[in-house]
Amino acid sequence: MRNILIIDDEINICTLLSKFLGKHGFKVDTTMSGATALKMMKEKTFDLVLCDYRLKDTDGAQLLQDILQINPRTIVIIITGYTDVRVAVDMVKNGAYDYLSKPLYPDEILNLVHKAFAHMDSERERESSMPARTYNGSVGERPAVAATSSDEPNGEMLDKSNKYVYGESGGARELIRQIKLVAPTDYSTIIFGETGTGKESVAHLIHHHSKRHSQPFVALDCGSLSKELAASELFGHEKGAFTGAINTKIGAFEQAHGGTLFLDEVANLSYDIQVALLRVIQEKVIRRVGNLKEIPIDVRIIVASNEKLSESVQKGRFREDLFHRFNEFTIYIPPLRERVEDLPLFVDAFMRQVERELQKNCGKITHEVWECFNRYNWPGNIRELKNVIRRACLLTPEHEDITLSTLPLEMKESFSQQPSYEEDHQVNMSGELISITNENDLKTVALQAEYNKIINVLKEVKYNKTKAAQLLNIDRKTLYNKLRLLNINY
């Protein structure tokens, strides 16, 4: 029987969740205190923790670190109000499996719990059957969908595995060009992008198309490592090296020997560990904690950060000499809000994935939902989009259209507070856009220029959309998305 711990300072939520999950075969304990929860976890093993982000004696971010330090294999799901969603998204990056927004829906909770346990079981099975290709992140960590595309003829992509979704925007094409350029080399690479943009997927693609592709790819989330654990996780330790070191541990560098080591959120490493990393890169040898023997290593290093490492250097948080060691090549992943033309591809892929998970037909997305998607800021990027689609499909009865009512509260509120395109602009009979907003607003000026250009090209080719897309140097899908966004009906 699976053990679940519920941490929430509202007694009603603890009681309701305990009874609901208990009826579905789980053994459930509850507490209203973070300190008590940590004490309980030291005395008993819990497979999954449902934790409210705001507690009276601590917050979810600190509690997450403490839980993973006690048992890194515990699945942690954060419960949050809509005002804390951005924080919850960051916590997912730092080791939480997922988050749930209030109000809570029983079916959504149960589905996520089952999915988390299925993921945990598959991870353990994979680790036992493929020890050489260790996936060193937390139990809840999973690769985000890569936001990439190919500029090869006939839609030829980097791989045929259907593991990734390939965008068609200019940013996606530039991203794939850089991946193909750096992959065959042994350059150390920095991947910079916001949370949820798919940094690890890009690292996977670089490794897959390198000369090291047949050797291990090891990923380590530096954001979830304490100063004490970092040296052991990176370099390994000998039996008895410190309290709790009951066995010899092989570190990430040794596991990745001959292959690629991916260090996510590398800026979170302490100064002491940065010094040790610099020596390893220079000397190409490591020492396990508790041993003076030097072990040669041959590893390509890819690091990722959601903030510019050059800015971290200026702030004194990251060593400049280590930054220059890593910075042989830098790849920037644009956020989802800068490439909304890729939204239909991602949405379609995620819906097909959720349909397989839920074994149901999710129906179609209404025009109102598409408009909300196009205007939303997507702070959690592709990962947030995936969670929104999963939620919407779960809440929508089979074969019915997906409506605004199934979207998270923060999206609906953001959408309701913005004027629609029709309210913000009007079109005269000659087809020219008339702006009724501030003429100094750059967004309005850009929209107006784009609108007029598309209208003029459509007139030139007698409204043949295929020819118009060719002249505009975009594909047909992108043109259709822009026609819908700009409310052009031809």
Domains of the chain: 3-129 (3.40.50.2300), 147-334 (3.40.50.300), 344-418 (1.10.8.60), 422-490 (1.10.10.60)
Residue range 68-87: mean pLDDT, rounded: 80
Burial of 18 (0-12, 13-18, 19+ CB in 10 A): middle
Residue range 159-177: mean pLDDT, rounded: 74
CA distance 225 to 222: 5
* Average pLDDT for the chain: 81
Indicate the pLDDT class of residue 154, thresholds 50, 70 and 90: very low
User: Is the pLDDT assigned to residue 59 strictly greater than 70?
Assistant: yes
CB 44 within 8 A of CB 88: no
User: Is the pLDDT assigned to residue 309 strictly greater than 70?
Assistant: yes
User: Is the pLDDT assigned to residue 171 strictly greater than 50?
Assistant: yes
Indicate the pLDDT class of residue 99, thresholds 50, 70 and 90: confident
Residue range 127-142: mean pLDDT, rounded: 39
Residue range 39-66: mean pLDDT, rounded: 89
DSSP state of 329: E
Nearest to 99 by CA among 301, 403, 330, 380: 380
Burial of 378 (0-12, 13-18, 19+ CB in 10 A): buried
pLDDT of 419 reads: 53
If one compares 432 and 193, the residue with the highest pLDDT of the two is: 193
Lowest-confidence region among 77-86, 132-141, 323-332: 132-141
DSSP state of 59: B
Percent above pLDDT 70 for the chain: 83
Percent above pLDDT 90 for the chain: 33
pLDDT of 457 reads: 87
Indicate the pLDDT class of residue 162, thresholds 50, 70 and 90: low
pLDDT of 206 reads: 94
pLDDT of 417 reads: 61
CA distance 345 to 480: 13
If one compares 426 and 420, the residue with the highest pLDDT of the two is: 420
Q: Which residues contact 16 (CB under 8 A, 6 or more apart)?
A: none
Indicate the pLDDT class of residue 27, thresholds 50, 70 and 90: very high
CB 295 within 8 A of CB 288: yes
Tell me the whole-structure pTM to 2 decimals: 0.56
User: Is the pLDDT assigned to residue 153 strictly greater than 60?
Assistant: no
